[in-house]
Amino acid sequence: MDNADLQVLRQASRWIADGHRVVLCTVTRTWGSAPRPPGSSVAIRDDGLVTGSVSGGCIEDDLIEKARTGALARGVPQVVRYGIDADSAHRFGLPCGGLIELVLEPVAAHTRLDELLARLQHGERVRRTLVLASGEATLEAAGATDELELTDTTLVTHHGPSWRMLVVGAGQLTQYLVPMASALGYQVLVCDPRDEYAHGFEIPGATLLRTMPDDAVRELRPDGHTAIVALTHDAKLDDLALMEALSGPAFYVGAIGSRANQARREARLKEHFGITDAQFARLHGPVGLKNGARTPPEIAVSILAEITAVRYGYHIPPPVPSLGTRTPESGCPA
- CATH number of the domain residue 244 falls in: 3.40.50.720
Question: What phi and psi values does residue 5 have, to the nearest 5 degrees?
Answer: -60, -50
Q: Mind listing the pLDDT tens digit for each residue in 70-126?
A: 888 678 999 998 875 555 555 655 544 568 899 999 999 999 999 999 998 877 889
pTM: 0.69
Residue span of the structural domain in which 185 resides: 163-311
Same domain for 77 and 24, yes or no, is yes
**Structure confidence at residue 185 as a pLDDT band (50, 70, 90):** confident
Given this model, what pLDDT does residue 92 score? 57
Query: How far apart, in Å, are the Cα atoms of 112 and each of 25, 75, 138, 139, 190?
Result: 16, 15, 8, 8, 32
Same domain for 46 and 184, yes or no, is no
* pLDDT (average), residues 268-295: 92
Given this model, what pLDDT does residue 69 score? 87
Same domain for 18 and 154, yes or no, is yes
* pLDDT (average), residues 56-68: 85
Containing 253, the helix (H) or strand (E) segment is: strand 252-255
pLDDT > 90: percent of the chain = 58
Q: Give domain status of residue 326, yes or no.
A: no
* pLDDT (average), residues 280-295: 92
Q: Give domain status of residue 105, yes or no.
A: yes
Least confident of 132-136, 142-146, 171-175, 247-251: 142-146
Same domain for 78 and 122, yes or no, is yes
Q: Give domain status of residue 328, yes or no.
A: no
Same domain for 173 and 152, yes or no, is no
Same domain for 211 and 265, yes or no, is yes
Q: Mind listing the pLDDT tens digit for each residue in 34-48?
A: 667 888 899 999 999
Same domain for 14 and 154, yes or no, is yes
Domain count, the chain: 2
